[in-house]
A and B are shown apart, each in its own frame.
Chain A
Amino acid sequence: MIEIKNLKKKYSADFTLNIENLKIKTGERVALIGANGSGKSTLLKLISGYIKPDSGEILINTEKMAYLPQDPYIFSMSVRKNVRIGLKDNKKQEENLKEILIMTGLFNLLDKNAAKLSGGEKQRMVFARMLIDKHNLLMLDEPFGAIDIDFKDSLEQILSDYCIANKTTLIMATHTPAEAFNLCDKLIIMHKGEVIEYGQCGDIIKNPKTDFGKTFLKQWRITDV
């Protein structure tokens, strides 16, 4: 369970993230949508603890969590070492490593220097790096941006299976409607640092409460609005 109360964080000259109250239950999968600069990334950084709020609090009742930034760092070492870099006990996860690398189509590149991978391969590798361990909460900031079209569907499926198997709560910022609806059951629409819509995907699509919500969903070409 994640509970946010009176959260405030100034994230640009013009905008302050301002969330009075937001609850995300364990095992829920939530898509964060909104225009560029609406505060999606800032919210993920705050929940992950990477940045501190100016005021307010975030209560997280979860043991293990991981946050995947929009532009993650690729270490100048082999794919194998990159994928295992976050593990505390390297030996334990050898079987997981093989499995995750096969799933992400990286097994043949195991010993290649990760810095020399293509953009799509790097993105798959950071997915593998995150999914090799079991997490109760995943926060992903536009995770499918550079993924090759051939791998996108299978990675979505891997992520979905992972969340179901581990009862993982997922919060994912995205600009793509298909990603949001394929992976998430709830939707948050953000605008100028505020949560303006929050609920089940179907409910928000059928009945957005705000004018901005309607306009935004139209831009997304969601015809139910």
Chain B
Amino acid sequence: MTEYIKEAFSLLISGNSELWGIIKVTLQMSFFSTVISSFLGLPLGTVIGRTEFKGKGLILRITNTLMGLPPVVAGLVVFLTLSRSGPLGSLQLLFSVAAMVIAQVVLITPLMTGMSASASSEKAPKLRETASGLRMGKTKEIILLMLECRPQFVSIILLGFGRAIAEVGAVSLVGGNIQFKTRVMTTAIMLETNKGNFRFAVALGIVLLAISFIVNSIAYTAGEKRK
């Protein structure tokens, strides 16, 4: 194992173009899917969390179900939607990074929505009453509620990023694991392990762990600063 790790480091330092290409595609995909999911999920979750309305229970149950959506099912749905005979087939997005981002957004958005609804619902009643007393508009109140939930939202965004970067089933289905195009760290690790190329797989595993550590460190530092 130590040998593999040593070799993995030398591979990383040597600037292997395929390895760095995979890292680049992985980061691109994870970044864009997290950003898009954050823009969709956090405001939606905040609105659901702050308001009491008929059918809220049903919406929360659906969101919670989607939070546990198996990645291959999400991948399959996106695959069928983007395939040539599917409703968005004309866009010709299948087996591209864009398709992988769409699949990730389908997976991560419910997670962000559900968690932000839960985070905002704790602060919402008191904040709403105060905002109403000061005659603030609804938009200003929602923005303020989102700002007040910043620490929780940072954790939610990082959790979403963690899910995106570690996911394998959906991206493999809609991306096709094409070398130099849609191959990401998780799909490459699977492929190289099957091929017996452990050196390459371990190198990718180390990078994945390193990114995960950096992401967690950012979350920890952000949390400490707010104390």
Whether A71 lies near B135 (C-beta < 8 A) is: no
Q: Is A65 an interface residue (CB 8 A)?
A: yes
* Contact sample, A vs B, 10 pairs, CB 8 Å cutoff: A48-B133, A49-B132, A50-B129, A66-B135, A73-B129, A73-B131, A75-B144, A86-B134, A130-B133, A139-B133
Write the chain A residue with the least CB distance to B125. A73
Whether A85 lies near B144 (C-beta < 8 A) is: yes
What's the Cα separation between A45 and B131 when bound, in Å?
13
Whether B148 lies near A66 (C-beta < 8 A) is: no
What's the Cα separation between A46 and B134 when bound, in Å?
15
Whether B132 lies near A48 (C-beta < 8 A) is: yes
Chain A residues, Cβ within 8 Å of B131 = 73
Whether A50 lies near B133 (C-beta < 8 A) is: yes
How many residues does chain B have at the interface if contact means C-beta atoms less than 8 Å apart? Answer: 14
- What per-residue 1/0 map shows which CB atoms of A26-52 lie under 8 Å from chain B? 000000000000000000010011100
What's the Cα separation between A68 and B135 when bound, in Å?
11
Whether B126 lies near A73 (C-beta < 8 A) is: yes
Give the distance to chain B from A80, nearest Cβ to Cβ, in Å.
Answer: 16
Which of A64, A68, A75, A76 is close to B133, meaning CB atoms less than 8 Å apart? A68
- What per-residue 1/0 map shows which CB atoms of B109-148 lie under 8 Å from chain A? 0000000000000010011011111111000000010011
Which of B126, B135, B136 is close to A65, meaning CB atoms less than 8 Å apart? B135
Whether A69 lies near B129 (C-beta < 8 A) is: yes
- What per-residue 1/0 map shows which CB atoms of A57-98 lie under 8 Å from chain B? 000000011111101110110000000011000000000000
With contacts A75-B144, A76-B148, A85-B144 taken as known, whether A69 is within 8 angstroms of B130 at the C-beta atoms is yes
What's the Cα separation between A49 and B131 when bound, in Å?
12
Q: Is A191 an interface residue (CB 8 A)?
A: no
Give the distance to chain A from B61, nearest Cβ to Cβ, in Å.
Answer: 27
Give the distance to chain A from B135, nearest Cβ to Cβ, in Å.
Answer: 7
What's the Cα separation between A130 and B136 when bound, in Å?
12
Chain B residues, Cβ within 8 Å of A45 = 129
Residues of A within 8 A of B (CB): 45, 48-50, 64-69, 71-73, 75-76, 85-86, 129-130, 139
What's the Cα separation between A73 and B135 when bound, in Å?
14
What's the Cα separation between A130 and B147 when bound, in Å?
21
Whether B133 lies near A67 (C-beta < 8 A) is: yes
Chain A residues, Cβ within 8 Å of B136 = 85-86
Whether B148 lies near A75 (C-beta < 8 A) is: yes
Write the chain B residue with the least CB distance to A87. B134
What's the Cα separation between A71 and B132 when bound, in Å?
13
Of all A-B residue pairs in the complex, the 10 with the closest CB atoms, nearest first, are: A86-B134, A67-B133, A73-B130, A73-B127, A73-B126, A50-B132, A69-B129, A72-B130, A66-B133, A50-B129
What's the Cα separation between A76 and B147 when bound, in Å?
9
Whether A71 lies near B126 (C-beta < 8 A) is: yes
What's the Cα separation between A137 and B131 when bound, in Å?
16
With contacts A75-B144, A75-B148, A76-B148 taken as known, whether A85 is within 8 angstroms of B129 at the C-beta atoms is no
Chain B residues, Cβ within 8 Å of A72 = 126, 129-130, 133
Chain A residues, Cβ within 8 Å of B130 = 69, 72-73
What's the Cα separation between A72 and B135 when bound, in Å?
14
Whether B133 lies near A85 (C-beta < 8 A) is: no
What's the Cα separation between A129 and B131 when bound, in Å?
11
What's the Cα separation between A64 and B127 when bound, in Å?
20
Give the distance to chain B from A22, nearest Cβ to Cβ, in Å.
Answer: 21
Chain B residues, Cβ within 8 Å of A68 = 133
What's the Cα separation between A130 and B134 when bound, in Å?
7
Known: A73-B126, A73-B131. 5 other contacts (CB 8 A): A66-B134, A69-B126, A73-B129, A86-B135, A130-B134
Write the chain B residue with the least CB distance to A140. B133
What's the Cα separation between A49 and B136 when bound, in Å?
12
Give the distance to chain B from A134, nearest Cβ to Cβ, in Å.
Answer: 13
What's the Cα separation between A67 and B135 when bound, in Å?
9
Chain A residues, Cβ within 8 Å of B123 = 73
